[in-house]
Amino acid sequence: MSFKAAAIQMCSGVDPVKNAADMTRLVRDAASKGAIYVQTPEMTGAVQKDRPGLRAVLRDEPNDIIVKTASELAKELGIHLHIGSTAIALDDGKIANRGFLFGPDGKLINRYDKIHMFDVDLDNGESWRESAVYRPGSEARIASLPFAELGFSICYDVRFPQLFRAQAVAGAEVMTVPAAFTKQTGEAHWEILLRARAIENGMFVIAAAQAGKHEDGRETFGHSMIIDPWGKVLASAGGTGEAVVIAEIDIAAVKSAHDKIPNLKNAREFSLEKIATPAAGGVAA
């Protein structure tokens, strides 16, 4: 089965109300071009590195404007709308970096909390400690949609191939990677990682990204893209500003890739032993 998919590229600011309006405009554009699955980037609702500022605009899930708007939009347009993620206030004072998938009836099909926290120190002086603010998820899920088996990840998750492999083995045909990659890491690794995850698992990858200079001062890499199971980039955006990236997804290509390179079937269990080298002048046992 084939279907048209869209990755929405945004440059979200600090105001969830404005971001919801921008999202609505871009999703409408994607639907008008025939997309029946539409994905938005990580942190669609607010890109805000100031923690008090972020907490000031946070809401719990039932009262979040992005969640409400997405449910209404999906129903109005008759599409599957995937909010890559938005920040959700939790009862314990932490925040969830949570993705949502809504069906054409506006009902929630799946939620996914980002599992791997971006705790890094980069060469350019950027330092990030997501674990200080966000509560990591612990569950991977696959949504069985009428047109594809859809797997979930968010941004930094792409660096953990075991998450993708587990979902591929369980039958995922399309993996989603909504993101807000930093400019430095994006230039070095974004496309390489996405294509690698597609190739090694024989699956489509759809990655909607944040792009450009944001109100909070950070800069994200953009280059939203859709990749086929052979690693070919079907469609992509530039590195700044909004974009609607659309491609035709032919699910038959997944089986074709698995038939050509059946590495999922050929995988074998193995043991691992670390061999100690003898000290200088010693004799190995």
Which residues are part of the catalytic machinery?
A: 42, 114, 155
DSSP 3-state of 136? coil
* Rounded CA separation 44/40 (Å): 7
Region label for 34, one of left (φ > 0), alpha (ψ between -120 and 50) or beta (otherwise):
left
| Nearest CA among 102, 209, 110, 108 for reference residue 158 | 209
Paired residues of 7 in beta bridges: 39, 245
Kindly list the distances between the CA atom of residue 88 and the CA atoms of 29, 60, 119, 187, 278, in Å, as whole numbers in the listed order: 26, 5, 19, 29, 54
Structure tokens at 8: 């929405």
* Rounded CA separation 218/134 (Å): 18
* Rounded CA separation 217/171 (Å): 40
Beta-carbon-side half-sphere exposure of residue 237 (alpha carbons within 13 Å): 27
- For the chain, the residue count is 285
* Rounded CA separation 257/182 (Å): 31
